[in-house]
Structures are given as C-alpha cells and as structure tokens.
C-alpha cells in the first residue's frame, strides 16, 4: 500500500525541484487515495460531498444528501468547468467522486481521474480497445462507469476485460479476461463492488451470448465465482457457481435440443450488492433468439431471462429469483436499475427491491425471498400482459403475444416503457423518479425459420422494418394511442403516479434540495440538463450543455460548494437511431455546474446534414428491401 497520494508526491517532488532542498519527502496528510471499503460505503450518507459507488449508496438510490442548490436559487446554477474527452462517441458514464477526485470512464472504456474543483485531468488510462470490438453490439462503444474500492479504480472494457488501476496514478495493477475474446461479448456496464469482490457482467443478448456475472477478488484479480443466467449443455456442466441451480431448476424450463446459439439473459447494466442479506442481485436481459418458438420449442419460462436473480455475495450460490417476463419474446430486457429500500406496505415493514424494467410494470420484490409484493403498470397502454397475478406473481400474457405465425403490435415494444437509463429514489419524498415511455410499441413480424449467423442481426424475426416480405405495408391505425414520453414520479407504496412532466429525457438524480435533475438526449431538448421540483414536478431550470446528456448526473461538494456533474456526448442506441437530431461532431465532455459558476461552454454546433445525399429515386419496395439489407449487414458498424 502506498503511504502518500500521487498528487502529494508530485507536489513534494516539484517543491524539491524548485528549492533544491535535500529534505526527504514527507508522507502526505489525509487519507490514502480512493480508500473506499464496505464500511465506508455503508455510511455514504455521512459524507454527501462524495459519490462513492455507482448508485450513490449501497441501496443505489442515486440520491444526494446535499441541499445547497434548491428551486429558489437554481437560476444561479451555471457551468463551473468542463473537461473535453478525446472521443466524440456516446458518453454514458456515472462518475464516482472520492475526496475531491472524480473517476470517470468515456466511450472506448478510457478512464480519467479529474480534480473535482478545477476540472483538470490528474491521469488518464486508455485500455486500447480494438476498433472491431464496436461491431459486437448494438448501441455504440459506451461505458457506464468505473468502480472505486480498496485504492483501485476498476473498469470493464468494451472488449471484455476487467482492469484494476492504481487510483493514485492510473497504472494497471491487474487485468482479468472476463469473456471469450472470439465470442460476441462486450462490456458496457460499470463494475460493482462489495464483500471484497468486484462484480462484472456483459452484453451480447442479440448475438447468441449467454449471460453471466463474474466476481473477482478486488485486490488480486483472482476469479472468486461465476454465475450463468441461462443454461449450457446439460451434459457438460460449467464448473461454475450456477451448476447446481442449472440442474435443479433452470434446464427444465428450456425445451428443444441444447444449442450453443441460444441463451441471452445478459447482465449488461444493473448489479447491486445488498449488505442486509450479503447477497448480490443481477438484472438480466432478453432471451436469444427473440421468439420463444425458435429458442425453446414454443414453451417454458426459460430461466433466468428477464429476471432478478439473487446469489450469495461470497460464493455466487443461488438464493432466489423473480422472473418478470417468463418465456420473454419481445426484447423486454429486465436490466433497469434495481433500487433497495425499506418500505411500509399494507402496514408491514418490508425489505424491498424496486424495479422498472422495459415490460412496463413497477415491481416491489421482497429481498428476503424474491416473492412479489406488488406490481402495477407504471405507464398506460401495456398490452403484452393484462396484469401481474398477485397470487402467482406471474404476468397474464396476451393470447396473441407470441407471434408464431402472424405479426402483432405490442406495447411496450423493444425500446421499453423504460430501459437502462438511471432511476432515482428520494428518501425525503419517498418517490421513485424515472423516464417513462407510454404507449410505445413494436410490431413483431415472424420469420418462417431461424438461423444463427455470428455477427449478423438475425434475431428470429424481421427487425427494423414495418412489414414482412409477404405482406402489404400495414395501414396506420388512427385509433392507436399516441406515444408519450415524460419524467415520472412514482409512489412505490401506493403504486400510483405522483406527477408527470412531459419530455424525452434520460437518466436522473434526486437531491435533498428538493430537486430532480435529468439529462436529455433524444428530442429538441437534446443536450440539455434540466431540473424539476422533486415534490411537484415543476421544471425550474434547464441548460444547454450543448451535447446529449444520456446518463444520470451526480452531485458532490468541494470546499463547501455543491456541484452537479454530468457526462455529455451524443451516441448510444437512441441517437444512432435518430440522425435527424444529430449535431455536427463534437467531443464528449465532463461538465460540472455550481451556483454562480463562470465557465463558458463551447457553442452549440449546427445540426448535421443528411448522412447520405441521394438524388436518385427508388420504388418503395426497393427502399424497404435496401433498409432490411442495411440492417442485416451494415448497421452494426455504420
Ligand atoms: Ca435487448
């Protein structure tokens, strides 16, 4: 262990150089850099000036106890400083802040340590992710952040490595290869920490991936356990912590012959360590291929796709699961943030896990045993299931939902009523805040057969087209409910909306100053960060950054001043799919705001022109076919 911070050593060395003295370097005063452990994280509320872990605290509330910035003075909130990254790709990181130092990742899984007061970079680390790794997933080479623990900074790289860096100088301490580099795996999610371990999942649920979470010793990088979320060959156990539950519960929920190109259940976003029960929750993605009739002979729940799974933190041994979309066939990833709280429901104190997955239901799950406490739709217009049966905890799925022979339009669609964008819970208002997409839908168009081709967008249905090759374009349905997007405040106890504020926003942060901050990335407000009153939803502030703010901001304080901090940078799935709102290229940035900040951000660049200028005209059917070919062969990279 080091006895001085990198910064302090630099200061001593500089002083020696300047004065030419021979005094030996003095140990620096103050804590070791990034001296974060379980005991400290458990007391995160006692140091609101920091943002120690991805969700702000062990319960992942994304709530800051700082209250200097309020609805009354927020008109004075201005940029304090900004740091320009060296990539213009999408930025989705949640920064970590420890004792005046920010640790943040950028696109391509690069890591920066930044002085939280001045915005100056202290060190930088580039894991040199190979460019072709970008083709292994859908939604840009994003990184959702680092973890800081035991004096180290951990990053999961897009090509599947987990790297521990010395928090003092950014030098690598250990590297673990967490995936088969030949397979279609990526890491966009942030590592999580607890019980002396670092937990990391992966993505690839549209490419034949089979989900799993790996736990590594935080100090040595030794693999402690691995837990698969979908089954392998029943004749060849994995030698993993999940082997026992695969044999006792999971295999029996999958039908048809084993096929290495089926699976999914990727843990690509939320993982939470719960010290109340010494267990780790993993939130899993959709099944692959998408339609169950190609994946599992048209039957079975297919554990553990679209589920919350609890395992013992130290051993990875299965404890319980709750499956939100059994037999899922609609790209209903259940990877949204899991938020823990102690709630009194029907007069009874409950240890609750709250979840708002793509499928449109707000779940309260009992953390002791995974039993459903309550579930209600948090948006109107949900059609894939009519309700969740409280007696069985299972959805009542619409009879036509499985599109085995004809297309069906269902809500929510593949975009979800809410996807991964960070959500927040305020212990002050007792409300959950999230971006909600009401009446969103997808038309699921069956293919006659499924074949797996590595790297291709072959999901088992016609994707990104309005109709199949054998049918006429469907006529618009004037009676269809109009899609609506809004920031939603939800009372988890009564399962009712407290307020809604219209807008196409992204991740959120709640603060003790009665504020909810939200980034915007998808509409005319692209590039703004806004703030609403946490109790009423009234919008009280908005600022053009001017670049997409996709993830949730965080808050910290230095020298008695509260800051709001966000990464900005256009990219990710939403922006790639919406070129009409894309600006001319600009670098991603880290932007810090404070009351009476005086930094000037670069001007908003002009909107980008059309990606391709075409003067020829084509028959509508050719355009449609060209689009399908582009989706199949080109869209992965272009
Ligand atoms: Ca998915």
pLDDT digits (tens, 9 = 90+) for 375-425: 999 999 999 999 999 999 999 999 999 999 999 999 999 999 999 999 999
**Tokens 């976003």 sit on residue:** 269
Q: Which two tokens stand for residue 594?
A: 């404070």
Distance 290 CA to ligand 1 centre (A): 9
Pick from 410, 422, 564, 634: nearest CA to 78: 564
Q: Which two tokens stand for residue 363?
A: 């779940």
- Distance (Å, whole) CA 261 – CA 253: 17
CA torsion 366-368-370-374 (nearest 10°) is: -10
CA distance 62 to 287: 29
CATH homologous superfamily for 8-633?
A: Quinoprotein alcohol dehydrogenase-like superfamily (2.140.10.10)
| Residues near 59 by beta carbon (within 8 Å), at least 6 away in sequence | 272, 339, 340, 341, 425
Q: What are the domain boundaries of the chain?
A: 8-633
Q: How many helices (H) and strands (E) does the chain have?
A: 6, 40
Per annotation, catalytic residue among 301, 331, 337, 457: 331
**For residue 420, how far is its CA from the centre of ligand 1 (angstroms)?**
10
Other Cβ atoms closer than 10 A to 628: 17
Q: How far is the CA of 330 from the centre of ligand 1 (A)?
A: 9
Of 460, 468, 470, whose CA–CA distance to 443 is shortest? 468
Q: Are 55 and 552 in contact (CB under 8 A)?
A: no
Is 166 among the catalytic positions?
no
CB-based contact 393:366 (threshold 8 Å): no
C-alpha distances in angstroms, 102 versus 105, 405, 582, 635?
A: 10, 53, 28, 35
* pLDDT, position 582: 61
Distance 454 CA to ligand 1 centre (A): 16
Compute how many other C-beta atoms are within 10 angstroms of the C-beta atom of residue 418: 25
Spans of the chain, pLDDT less than 70? 1-31, 522-526, 573-583, 609-612, 635-638
Give the pLDDT score at 523. Answer: 56
Instruction: For residue 308, give the 3-state DSSP assignment.
Output: strand
Q: Is 621 helix (H, G, I), strand (E, B) or coil?
A: helix
* Predicted local distance difference test score (pLDDT) of residue 144: 97
**C-alpha–C-alpha distance, residues 590 and 379, integer Å:** 32
Percent with pLDDT over 70 in the chain: 91
Q: Give backbone dihedrals phi and psi of 270, rounded to 5 degrees, phi first.
A: -95, 130
pTM for this entry = 0.92
pLDDT of residue 13: 34
State residue 630's pLDDT score.
Answer: 79
3-state helix vs strand vs coil in the chain, percent to 5: 10, 35, 55
If you measure from the C-alpha of residue 332 to the centroid of ligand 1, how many angstroms do you get, rounded to a whole number? 7
């Amino acid at each position: 262990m080091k006895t001085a911070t990198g910064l302090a050593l630099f200061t001593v060395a500089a002083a020696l150089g300047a004065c030419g003295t021979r005094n030996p370097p003095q140990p620096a005063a103050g804590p070791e850099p990034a001296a974060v452990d379980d005991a400290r994280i458990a007391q995160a509320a006692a140091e609101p000036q920091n943002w120690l872990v991805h969700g702000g605290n062990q319960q992942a509330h994304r709530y800051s106890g700082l209250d200097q910035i309020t609805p009354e003075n927020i008109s004075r909130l201005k940029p304090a400083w900004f740091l320009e990254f060296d990539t213009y790709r999408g930025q989705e990181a949640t920064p970590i802040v420890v004792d005046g130092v920010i640790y943040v990742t950028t696109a391509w899984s690069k890591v920066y340590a930044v002085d939280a007061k001045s915005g100056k970079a202290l060190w930088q680390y580039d894991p040199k992710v190979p460019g072709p790794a970008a083709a292994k997933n859908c939604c840009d080479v994003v990184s959702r952040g680092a973890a800081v623990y035991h004096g180290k900074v951990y990053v999961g790289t897009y090509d599947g490595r987990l790297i521990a860096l010395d928090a003092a100088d950014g030098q690598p301490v250990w590297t673990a290869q967490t995936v088969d580099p030949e397979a279609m795996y990526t890491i966009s999610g942030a590592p999580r920490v607890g019980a002396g371990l670092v937990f990391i999942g992966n993505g690839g649920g549209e490419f034949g991936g089979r989900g799993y979470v790996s736990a590594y010793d935080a100090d040595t990088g030794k693999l402690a356990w691995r837990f698969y979320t979908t089954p392998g060959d029943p004749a060849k156990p994995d030698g993993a912590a999940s082997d026992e539950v695969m044999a006792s519960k999971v295999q029996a929920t999958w039908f048809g012959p084993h096929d290495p190109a089926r699976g999914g259940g990727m843990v690509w976003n939320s993982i939470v360590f719960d010290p109340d029960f010494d267990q780790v929750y993993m939130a899993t993605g959709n099944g692959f291929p998408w339609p169950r009739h190609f994946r599992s002979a048209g039957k079975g729940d297919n554990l553990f796709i679209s589920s919350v799974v609890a395992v013992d933190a130290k051993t990875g041994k299965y404890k319980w699961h709750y499956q939100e979309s059994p037999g899922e066939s609609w790209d209903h990833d259940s990877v949204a943030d899991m938020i823990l709280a102690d709630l009194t429901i029907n007069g009874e104190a409950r240890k609750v896990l709250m979840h708002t997955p793509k499928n449109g239901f707000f779940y309260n799950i009992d953390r002791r045993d995974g039993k459903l406490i309550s579930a209600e739709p948090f948006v109107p217009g949900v059609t894939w299931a009519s309700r969740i049966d409280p007696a069985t905890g299972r959805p009542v799925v619409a009879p036509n939902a499985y599109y085995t022979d004809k297309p069906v339009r269902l809500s929510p669609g593949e975009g979800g009523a809410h996807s991964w964008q960070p959500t927040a819970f305020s212990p002050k208002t007792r409300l959950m805040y999230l971006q909600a997409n009401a009446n969103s839908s997808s038309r699921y168009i069956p293919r006659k057969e499924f074949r797996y081709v590595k790297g291709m967008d072959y999901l088992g249905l016609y994707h990104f087209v309005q109709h199949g090759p054998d049918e006429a374009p469907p006529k618009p349905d004037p009676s269809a409910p109009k899609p609506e997007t809004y920031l939603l405040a939800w009372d988890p106890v009564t399962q009712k909306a407290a307020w809604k504020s219209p807008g196409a926003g992204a991740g959120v942060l709640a603060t003790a100053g009665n504020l909810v901050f939200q980034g915007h990335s998808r509409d005319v407000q692209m590039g703004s960060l806004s703030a609403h009153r946490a109790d009423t939803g009234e919008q009280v502030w908005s600022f053009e950054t001017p670049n997409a703010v996709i993830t949730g901001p965080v808050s910290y304080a230095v020298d008695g001043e509260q800051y709001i901090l966000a990464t900005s940078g256009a990219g990710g799935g939403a922006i790639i799919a919406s070129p009409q709102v894309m600006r001319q290229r600009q670098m991603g940035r880290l932007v810090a705001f404070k009351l009476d900040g005086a930094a000037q951000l670069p001007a908003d660049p002009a909107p980008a022109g059309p990606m391709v200028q075409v003067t020829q005209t084509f028959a509508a059917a050719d355009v449609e076919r060209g689009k399908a070919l582009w989706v199949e062969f080109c869209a992965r990279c272009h």
